[in-house]
Amino acid sequence: MPELPEVEIVRQSLHKKIKEKSIKKVIIRNRNLRFKIQSDFESFLEDKKIIKINRFSKYLIIHFEKENYCIIHLGMSGTIHILDNKKPLKFTNSSFYHSPLLPKKHNHAEFIFDNLKVIYNDPRRFGFFEIIKNHQDLEKRFKSMGPEPFSKKFNINYVLNYFKGKNKDIKSFLLDQRFVSGIGNIYASEILFACKINPFKKAKQLNKNECLKIILNSKKILRQAINRGGSSIRDFKDILGNQGTFQREFKVYQQDGDDCKRLKCKGIIKKKISSNRSTFFCNICQN
């Protein structure tokens, strides 16, 4: 599943290509995604001008004129492909998941502009589209979710108060979108390694300094991943032919059995399955 940095790369690609453009036509080939695409989806979007593409957590938000919006979630396997008629692209994928080329199957939605097409492909169909018709409803849509790691609301007072009396382990909290939005399994392991915190330590046992480290390293590692184009685990390329390179900097994720990369640490990277998720950590410096 794409995490916050990978969705941000998609956002940047779309914003560059389709902002200030109007959707001429929408073609839906399969309405049966995670949530069924509503019957008026095409008529709602057609002829609407796109003002900008934003993102919250792992959600893309298309802003139209007159405070209309379309939310896109990529689910487990969703990818967005951009086909430019004026400048044909060798690689159509706007991020780093699955094929860099437009697949022949599972192209469920097509958005047609004057000189380009945007195609949504999703083999597992866990992604979805959602129409929002005013700004108030947009705010309500994300009300139950925690702040993003980059938000000023994600501060020491917020974290300390949230963790009071909580028995759940810190790794689970980093994956809990009600606590903080956008962090997934890859970056949770990397953040906790940077903090030298055991992933299975209970949240209520974390001191102020440890909480501060979590805040700072969450921002730092996600920014690094965005700057490096995300983590393209399978080494595919985006529409410019660029690879996401952050996977080359993984310290623990998928490194089980390797020596710890921290200077002077003699630990070994371990893998533990918890709640059907793989957690990677050093058995010494994160003990």
Output the tens digit of pLDDT for each of the chain's 287 residues: 778 988 998 998 899 899 999 999 999 999 999 999 999 999 999 999 999 999 999 999 999 999 999 999 999 889 999 998 877 666 787 776 566 778 889 999 999 999 999 999 999 999 999 999 999 999 999 999 999 999 999 999 999 999 999 999 999 999 999 999 999 998 999 999 999 999 999 999 999 999 999 999 999 999 988 887 644 433 334 444 454 444 557 899 989 999 999 999 999 999 999 878 899 999 999 98
Residue ending a domain, among 110, 141, 172, is 141
Q: Is 24 a catalytic residue?
A: no
CA diameter of the chain: 62
Active-site annotation holder among 21, 166, 219, 277: 277
Residue 147 forms part of a structural domain? no
Residue 32 forms part of a structural domain? yes
Residue 205 forms part of a structural domain? yes
Residue 222 forms part of a structural domain? yes
What is the helix (H) or strand (E) element at residue 174, kind and residue range? helix 170-175
Active-site annotation holder among 11, 58, 171, 251: 58
> Do 26 and 131 lie in a common domain?
yes
> Do 114 and 208 lie in a common domain?
no
Q: Is 49 a catalytic residue?
A: no
Q: Is 58 a catalytic residue?
A: yes
Q: How many domains does the chain have?
A: 2
Q: Is 223 a catalytic residue?
A: no
